[in-house]
Structure 1
Amino acid sequence: MGSTAKAVVTGFICRLCSEQKKVVIHLYTERAKRLELLKKIKLLPISVDKFDNLPKTICEQCVIRLEIQYNLVLKIRKNNDIQRCHRLHHSNGRCPPECPFNGLDLPAWPEEVTTEESPEA
């Protein structure tokens, strides 16, 4: 019999970090559905297919990282929408009551900044 120390169990390899882990979450379980793992993975530059021959498990560390990344993307998208709306509809600096920036003491939008130094005489 051979040693099991060097055996690789493909069911316990994380799809994202490729590390072998003792505790993983299978992508097609109820827990993964509750955590919306497949939805969050779609933001990554990879594709996951139920029938590909790659691991279908994610380690707990990568689940945490994926959640942080997903929340950051949602925050960026929300703030981008707010800023675009604000710039399009109230560029005069007067915010109507329904504006998300109304009542906030926001710094003025910076004027175009140039990096060139003025020539000295």
Structure 2
Amino acid sequence: MDSFIGIRFKKETAKRFQQFSRTHFKSHSEAMATMLDFFFYNEISPKEKLGPTGRTIEAKLLKRINAVIAIMRDMEKTQTKPTVAMIESLFQTEILTKKPLILEKKFQEEKKAVRFQEKQNPNPEV
């Protein structure tokens, strides 16, 4: 059987360690050995930052996604919709009524009713 040794910790730190150890390991010794092995094998210091957390990465991703959405909406408004409208107008197969061009106007000679006529004087006294 292994012997035990006493180590002095502040009360708050000891309580936190005991709570952590009870939730994840069978004994306090196993918890401490696993933590020390983790730092030793991964060659990191407990004082080092491991980089951005999941929340910060998610926030950055959401910002970038919103920026991409804004760019796509702008492209749709300024490029896609007008281009589609132009292409649709090119491929429309409506039968247009044949209208004569302004230069090709044919003058129709019709006898139009006279709007103003000279009045005939019934009494020629002059």
Same fold judged by TM-score > 0.5? no
The normalised TM-score by structure 2 is 0.28
State the structure with more CA Rg: 2
The normalised TM-score by structure 1 is 0.29
